[in-house]
Chain A
Amino acid sequence: MKHRIFLTVIAISLIFISSCKKKEVKQLVPDDYKGWAMTATELTYPIPGHESHYRQIFINKIGENVKIEKKNGRVYYDYPRGTIIVKEIYPTLEPKKGDKPISLSVMIKDPDNPLSRDKWLWIVKNLKTGKEKVIDYEFCFDCHANANEPYPYGDGNKNGDFRDYVYFPYRK
């Protein structure tokens, strides 16, 4: 009887200790993005938000199936749910060979996520610490809202297409 009580106490303690163990945070940004398609290769000019840092942008397979349609004379881009766009941020505007990115700015199409803004989850990942931070305030979203009207980058979106917050749309 005493043994049974002892074992029960041990079991309860173990359950308690295991429940107290820090839960592992689910990583939103996959590590294998390097094998994805690129939407822009040479982003060598400074821009607000990323300032003087060289950038490369990757899009996952799901995002390659972006739906582009014309409604009432305006072109609308609609990236499917699950689309992930990863923008690598390098330490300088002209990185040397072998330089690795210092952070990632990531967009994930996840309309149901309460932290999402206009269907996208905006994330910054510090590659030094591996920490991901969801930016649920204006910073990323407000800037990328400009992608849906003419802007001074890439093709400039002269026609003011709704590009679903993506400055460099994926084109097959």
Chain B
Amino acid sequence: MNEVRPITRTVNLIIILSLTLGLGLTIVYFSYNQNVTLKTTTRGNLHQQADLLYQSIKNAMLPGNAPNAVSLFSDIKDINPSYEIMLFRAHGVQAFSDNATIETVNKNLDRQKFKLRSSPLENVIDISGDTRFKNSVAQRKTVAFEASESGRHFFTIYKPLLNLPKCTKCHGSDHTVRGVIKISSDITPVLDKQRINLAISGLIFIVVVFILTVILTRFFHRKIINPVKHIGEVCISVTNGNFSNRVSIPNRDEIGVLGETVNRMVEGLYERFQLSKFVSSSTIQSIRNKDRGARAEIAILFSDIRSFTAFSENLPPEEVVERLNGILSFQTDIIHRNGGDVDKYVGDEVVALFSGEEKEYRACKSALEIQQEVEADAGKRFGGLHLGIGINAGEVILGMIGSEERADFTVIGDHVNFASRLCDAAKPGQVIISENIYNMVKDRFKLSSPYKIKVKGKENYQKVFILEERVE
């Protein structure tokens, strides 16, 4: 038999997989989108601020108010310390760090319009080695990037400040980029928020999956798996011959209805089981097969108690029934032991059928065993009664004989009648067999010489044999 794979495991697996995949994908999708939105918004804001600053600086510088731009940077830094705004010259040195630009402008204007600074800036920052800065200048376009520094994460924009035609009067026409605005924002809090979002999403996912798994598993176990297992247990106990168990499912659903159906089925089976004690197995087989009649080769054994009527007249009815049942029971046991089937009891008579391999041999063996047991009893159990047995074999008609209300499975035909006649002809303790039987068992039993008897229903004398003993 193939190994049984419990459905519990499969159901649990399906529940966990469905929840994990379903909820997992949903949470991953929403968390990812939320984080992307957060990041995109932050970047978008910075770009927008960079554009605004670019315009402000451009306008502030045009009338020669460069210091205003520096002041603007300082004000913004004060408002938002996470921001860093700086202006660099096109070659990477921090702007307003010395008098170079003022000198160039004064030279281009051919007058000392702007006063030189008395002292240049200290700790001047130089980013000329930064490749992204170089790219921004070379390509004359905005470069944005993220970078980490001292455990903090920064989003930085390099935005080139173009030397527009209107600026050339002061700054000259020999260069395209006047400088680069660097706007850097500490986005560590944003990233922290992303991480927290992910952690919370993960935690919610685990908790929700766990709770739903427990709830769904319990629900399935309570409503489906346990009732089905219970029904299975009842079925197994019925298979083992125990009809006392019943399915007990309080659910008013399909499973509950199934339980009730199983209970009704068990009750029906119990009734049939009880009935089968009173019905031959060939009858049951016939009912199963819904036989309406068939021809078959079988051996028929008739056994009858001699002088039973006279015997019964001198005994109380209870003892008569007890003695009769005792005699019929031991015969039945022997017949069953030899693979035969008691077709019916007719008063003190037993009609037994043998089919299949060695049916004739098994019938004869049963007959001898019955006679031997009766002889061995010596009047103790069977009150000194004796049996006469007749056996014949041949093609008979099997079928349910009777009406719709009351029918018996039995055999009919000439061979049946002949077996009955042989039984009638047998003296107490004798087993008479037909020539058909003889031909099949002559090597395995000691038989007395053939006799010829005249029986009712047959015109001619019939050749018969008396079974003595087994020779094996």
Where the two chains meet, the residues of A that have a C-beta atom closer than 8 Å to any C-beta of B are: 45-49, 51-52, 137-139, 142-143, 146, 149, 151-153
Contact = CB atoms under 8 A, between A and B. Distances in A.
A137 B142 contact: yes
Given A138-B54, A139-B162, 17 more contacts: A47-B165, A48-B164, A48-B168, A48-B176, A49-B162, A51-B173, A51-B174, A51-B175, A142-B162, A143-B162, A146-B164, A146-B166, A149-B166, A152-B165, A152-B168, A152-B169, A153-B165
Interface residues of B, number: 16
A142 B164 CA distance: 8
B338 to A, nearest CB: 67
Contacts, number: 47
Contacts of A46: 173-174
A152 B164 CA distance: 11
B436 interface: no
Interface string B20-49: 000000000000000000000000000000
A149 B165 CA distance: 10
B223 interface: no
A158 B169 CA distance: 15
A11 B167 CA distance: 63
A49 B139 CA distance: 11
B163 interface: yes
Nearest to B51: A138
A142 B163 CA distance: 10
A52 B164 CA distance: 15
Name the 8 nearest CB pairs between A and B, nearest first. Answer: A48-B163, A146-B165, A139-B140, A48-B176, A151-B165, A137-B141, A46-B173, A49-B176
Contacts of B169: 152
Contacts of B140: 139
Contacts of B163: 48
Which residue, of A48, A49, A51, has the highest number of chain B Cβ atoms within 10 A? A48
A151 B169 CA distance: 10
Nearest to B167: A48
Given A137-B141, A139-B141, A151 B173 contact: no
Interface of B: 54, 140-142, 162-169, 173-176
18 contacts: A46-B173, A46-B174, A48-B162, A48-B168, A48-B175, A49-B162, A51-B174, A52-B174, A137-B141, A138-B142, A138-B162, A139-B141, A143-B162, A146-B165, A146-B166, A151-B166, A152-B168, A153-B165
Contacts of A47: 165, 168, 173
Contacts of B54: 138
A143 B173 CA distance: 12
A151 to B, nearest CB: 5
A47 B167 CA distance: 11
Nearest to B140: A139
A142 B169 CA distance: 17
A142 B174 CA distance: 17
A165 B447 CA distance: 136
A143 B141 contact: no
Contacts of B165: 47-48, 143, 146, 151-153
Contacts of B141: 137-139
B176 to A, nearest CB: 4
Nearest to A153: B165
A74 B345 CA distance: 132
A40 B166 CA distance: 20
B162 A51 contact: no
Nearest to B175: A48
A68 to B, nearest CB: 22
Nearest to B139: A139
A36 B173 CA distance: 29
Nearest to B141: A137
B173 to A, nearest CB: 5
A46 B162 CA distance: 15
Nearest to B177: A48
Contacts of A142: 162, 164
Nearest to A139: B140
A22 to B, nearest CB: 25
Contacts of B162: 48-49, 138-139, 142-143
Contacts of A143: 162, 164-165
Which residue, of B141, B163, B164, has the highest number of chain A Cβ atoms within 10 A? B164
B173 A48 contact: yes
